[in-house]
Chain A
Amino acid sequence: MTEKTETGIELDQVNIWFGEDEQRVDAVINAGFAVPPGGSFGLVGESGSGKSTILRAITGLAPTWSGNISVLGNRLGEKRDKEFYRAVQMVFQDPYASLHPRQTVDHVLSEALHLHGFDNPDKRIAQILDDVGLKQSFRFRWPHQLSGGQRQRVAIARALIIEPSILLLDEPTSALDVSVQAEILNLLKRLQSERDLTYLMVSHDLAVVSHMCSEIGVMNQGEIVEMLDVAALRALEASHPYTKQLLDASVQKRRE
């Protein structure tokens, strides 16, 4: 799976559901899109629209799905191998909830290295801290000693230390202040160009997604109702009524 392929992530006719029979809820219906290697794709929509569920299905956190998901040219089955997890990493929404409160930054990072059999942890940890803009003194700190933005940098470092080629970003800045959000978004952009990463990003914020991604899928009630590129989005050229509504809400928030 490590050799370069033509595709980054490809989804075709993917359905994801929870529960069985009467309790069944169809969270994602017939989703399909492709992200080229090194590209960035954004999913926007309201809570409950199924955007995070897609990320969870790719990583295997939502086991009941059908259709085709392929990552780096390999079709995913029920189980994912270690190679998959080396290639695909995820950054979660809430940096307060996604770091173990009783593990130091060093512990979090070296565990990831250990699991994937990397050598030379000292050098790699020092390097990744540099890359995400944290001082070396942060290495032996506990999560409670870090601010929200610093925690999110640690979460990004944890994902990137095993050198994946795909990063799944689940609302990586929605728990942060705007000033900190700007820092994290800049960091993610820089890392993408330095490491040639493929991003699949989920957000409810159209402005954030359009800053980060070139191609955007709009989700509503489990379906991708419209796909458009960032130029069309910025020109407010939406054809689906729901996208229009979403654009309206995001633009009208400002009085300019």
Chain B
Amino acid sequence: MSNLLEVQNLSVKFPTRNGIFEAVRNISFSLGRERLGIVGESGSGKSLTGRAILRLIKKPGILEADHITLEGTNLLQISKKAMRRVRGHKISMIMQDPKFSLNPVMRIGDQISEAYRLHARASKKDARKKTLDMLEKVLIRDPERVFRSYPHEMSGGMGQRIMIAMMLIPDPKILIADEPTSALDVTVQKEVLEIMDDLVRERGMGLIFISHDLNVVSAFCDRVLILYAGRIVETCRADRLHEAKHPYTIGLLNSIPRLEQPVEHLQVLQRDTAWNLEPSVSGVVADGETPS
């Protein structure tokens, strides 16, 4: 397995009145053609990690890393203009709520073809054809109608499929999905995840799946990084998540109520201040190695 992306010693800091706050501290990981899950609670730095890869940390936030390498290019050293070519073209990102990421006053078809034409230099006609194909691929039954619709006419699940179509149409190498299904109902969640999964596999892409939901991540990803207070406390294979060793991961898993195993009282996570001081675990898998 060759690595698409390598991140070394990434930190995201914010200056505050009481000194510098480190939201992400020295984390390293790699991404191959796999589905990598990043889980953690709110404030653990998981979304910032996703944004940092695309250099989307706004000032006064500070982004530091030894390198963020995409196919041999260090993304930290290229110009802003070159970075814009990377976004969407090489790495694209799906956000949590489609309501806020689609342009409300632009027809869906136009938005998707715009995404395509920005990166592919195609004629309007070709772009339209490609867009309709793509809408079909995300299992939208009536692509012609959706093409002409505005975002407010769509449900949450449809909106998220449209986002997936838009993000995949320039054929990126990596997709970062930041809580893509958290705003959706459970039954719709499954459908959207399956669509995303199929397309990502089919194209041999790398997927970074950011979520707070341990169940979804363990069912859907290959490998998981568990973030706590800006550091990776544990990495493991997703299907072995229930064998996790770090007390934080175990605590999180135990605090979820389960349908089949009723308990009188849910276990409450006891946080240990020592966790804040532990060094980050590396999430790097070297080329050719299989993750254990």
Q: Do A and B bind each other?
A: yes
List B residues at the A interface (Cβ < 8 Å).
41-42, 156, 185-190, 212-216, 218-219, 239, 242, 251-252, 255-260, 262-269
Q: Indicate with 1 or 0, residue by residue over A212-256, a CB within 8 angstroms of chain B CB atoms.
A: 000000000000000000100110100000000111011111111
Q: Give Cα A250 to B212, complex, Å.
A: 16
Q: Are A204 and B214 in contact, with the CB atoms below 8 A?
A: no
A189 at interface by CB-CB < 8 Å: yes
Q: Give Cα A148 to B43, complex, Å.
A: 11
**Interface class of chain A by DSSP:** helix
**Interface class of chain B by DSSP:** loop
Q: Give Cα A19 to B253, complex, Å.
A: 44
**Distance in Å from the Cβ of B49 to the closest Cβ of chain A?**
17
CB-CB under 8 A from B218, the residues of chain A are 254-255
Question: Which of A5-13, A24-32, A60-68, A175-183 binds B?
Answer: A175-183
Q: Are B219 and A252 in contact, with the CB atoms below 8 A?
A: yes
CB-CB under 8 A from A128, the residues of chain B are none
Contacts A/B (CB < 8 Å), 18 sampled: A177-B41, A178-B41, A178-B214, A178-B255, A182-B255, A189-B264, A204-B185, A207-B256, A208-B257, A211-B257, A211-B263, A236-B259, A247-B259, A251-B259, A251-B260, A252-B190, A253-B189, A254-B218
Q: Are A207 and B259 in contact, with the CB atoms below 8 A?
A: yes
Q: Are B242 and A211 in contact, with the CB atoms below 8 A?
A: no
CB-CB under 8 A from B216, the residues of chain A are 253
- A interface, size bucket: 35 or more
Q: Are A46 and B187 in contact, with the CB atoms below 8 A?
A: yes
Q: A46-B185, A246-B187, A249-B189 are in contact. Are A179 and B252 (CB under 8 A)?
A: yes
Q: Give Cα A207 to B267, complex, Å.
A: 15
Q: A208-B257, A210-B262, A256-B242 are in contact. Are A182 and B269 (CB under 8 A)?
A: yes
Name the CB-closest residue of A to B260: A234
Q: Give Cα A163 to B214, complex, Å.
A: 37
A185 at interface by CB-CB < 8 Å: yes
Q: Are A206 and B259 in contact, with the CB atoms below 8 A?
A: yes
Q: Are B42 and A249 in contact, with the CB atoms below 8 A?
A: no
Name the CB-closest residue of B to A245: B187
**Distance in Å from the Cβ of A79 to the closest Cβ of chain B?**
35
Q: A254-B215, A254-B219 are in contact. Are A181 and B190 (CB under 8 A)?
A: no
